[in-house]
Amino acid sequence: MEIPTEALERLVAFRRELHRWPELGFQERETSRRVCEQLDALGVEYVTGLAGTGVVAWLRGARGGGAGSVGLRADMDALPLEEHSGVDYASRNPGCMHACGHDGHTTMLLGAIEYLQRHNDFDGTVHFVFQPAEEGVGGGKAMVADGLFSRFPMGEIYALHNAPGLPVGRFGVIPGPIMAGGDRIDITIHGQGGHGGMNPHGCIDPVRIAAELIQKAHTIVSREVDPLSPAVLSICAIQSGSLAGFNVIPHTATLAGTMRFLDRATAERLRSSLRALCASLEQYYGARIELAIDDTFAVTVNDSEATETGIAVIRDSFGDEALQPDHQPSMGSEDFAFMLEACRGAYVHVGAGDETHTHGLHSQQYDFNDRIIPHGVRLLSGLARESLARQAG
């Protein structure tokens, strides 16, 4: 399968235009409009408005509507970062950039639509899901709640993500957990402020408590969790007092962080241990500690049969050597997990690393590698065709 040069140049130009105008989760109005503009040009049917800014398009094969159906999903949102990539198509929206490659994923899915429209000798229906708000704000869950699978029944659904840690030409897919579940942690410590020189003994110092909480929280994984079960607990932010008030003990301290896990038992162990830690510090210091745990992401679990479909497509389309041996789950999270809870399917990592693309995801220097657009188009198109063929039996 080859993408014509003219078509590839068009896709690259479209991707870079999306990159210039990134939008945060549930705010992707201009991105959705641009997607719909491309769908109109192709004459493809679609609906808008799922989860606010989501778009779902579909194609029926020339061999008949069939009973089979498959979904292909791409995410559209950007991150709240100031771009430092130095590319001439850098973000023109201050404080917002495509630092995870969702501009590339959206472009790949549009390329797959165009390819499958030209090569429509399949039986069944392919649904193309343009999802908003993947970056921790619940777009996948919202699309499912908004009737994605009841309005558009699918036998399977697939998604991909560029992976700068894999070389271009390599693909990673495994059955079972491939991306971690993730919780957001928010902690507020309510103490009693005062003078740091005259009266520290009469205060309940939230900074002191926060320091102890951080130190002890970072031992939970090493001492409370089964060492054979991957887990991460990171307190990533703390705010308390003012640097100008160097001698003022503040009243409160707030902390935020994340927990990651690959199974429910580990998730519950992390949560219960952190709750116990907060309760013990609260009692010892006489403070009041509020702990909120938001289960932002479920574990992304690949169906075994869908994974076999992915492996077959990678080998057929790119060769046996393209399949990354001993691929490991990532402790990053992905809200495609909620779609996989509702519909069987698989998630594939697409190698994007080369000598000019060395920055990782969520870096202010990151830029999507346009070299892999044809890889994504071939992979998505192949997954759709192979899935429908297998569903037909």
100 is known to lie in a ligand binding site = yes
354: left (phi over 0), alpha (psi -120 to 50) or beta: beta
247, 262, 297 — which closes off a domain?
A: 297
Residues 21 and 164 in one domain: yes
Q: What pLDDT is recorded for position 65?
A: 63
135 is known to lie in a ligand binding site = yes
Given a cut of 80, is residue 263 above it in pLDDT? yes
The residue-averaged pLDDT of 60-87 equals: 93
CA atoms within 13 Å, Cβ hemisphere of 119: 13
**Alpha-carbon torsion angle 390, 176, 331, 220, nearest 10:** 160
Residues 274 and 308 in one domain: no
Residues 46 and 170 in one domain: yes
Residues 121 and 228 in one domain: no
Q: What is the pLDDT of residues 311-366, one digit of tens each?
A: 999 999 999 999 999 999 999 999 999 999 999 999 999 999 999 999 999 999 99
Q: What pLDDT is recorded for position 64?
A: 73
Residues 160 and 308 in one domain: yes
- Reference 117, options 384, 389, 390; nearest CA is 384
Can you tell me the distance from the alpha carbon of 137 to that of 27, in angstroms, rounded to the nearest whole number? 11
Residues 168 and 37 in one domain: yes
Q: Tokens standing for 14?
A: 């479209």
Taking the chain, what is the end-to-end CA distance rounded to the nearest angstrom?
Answer: 24
Report the Cα 252 to chain-centroid distance in Å. Answer: 33
Domains held by the chain: number:
2
- CB 366 within 8 Å of CB 85: yes
Q: What share of the chain is helix, strand, coil (3-state, %, to 5)?
A: 35, 25, 35
All residues at 6 or more sequence positions from 37 whose CB lies less than 8 Å from its CB, including other chains: none
- Tell me the CATH number at 383: 3.40.630.10
Residues 312 and 209 in one domain: no
Can you tell me the distance from the alpha carbon of 337 to that of 181, in angstroms, rounded to the nearest whole number? 8
Q: What pLDDT is recorded for position 46?
A: 98
321 is known to lie in a ligand binding site = no
Please report the sign of the dihedral spanned by the C-alpha atoms of residue 340, residue 122, residue 119, residue 147: negative
Residues 110 and 173 in one domain: yes
161 is known to lie in a ligand binding site = yes
Given a cut of 70, is residue 272 above it in pLDDT? yes
Task: Place 152 in a pLDDT band, splitting at 50, 70 and 90.
Answer: very high
- Tell me the CATH number at 248: 3.30.70.360
Residues 172 and 198 in one domain: no
Residues 14 and 153 in one domain: yes
Q: In angstroms, what CA-CA distances link 137 with 175, 211, 260?
A: 26, 29, 16
Range of the domain at 99: 5-178+300-392
119 is known to lie in a ligand binding site = no
Which amino acid is it at 8?
A: L
Residues 45 and 165 in one domain: yes
The residue-averaged pLDDT of 164-184 equals: 98
Can you tell me the distance from the alpha carbon of 97 to that of 92, in angstroms, rounded to the nearest whole number? 9
Residues 33 and 95 in one domain: yes
297, 313, 331 — which closes off a domain?
A: 297
Task: Place 66 in a pLDDT band, splitting at 50, 70 and 90.
Answer: confident
270, 297, 324 — which closes off a domain?
A: 297
List beta partners, residue 48: 55
Other CB atoms within 10 Å distance of the CB of residue 41: 10
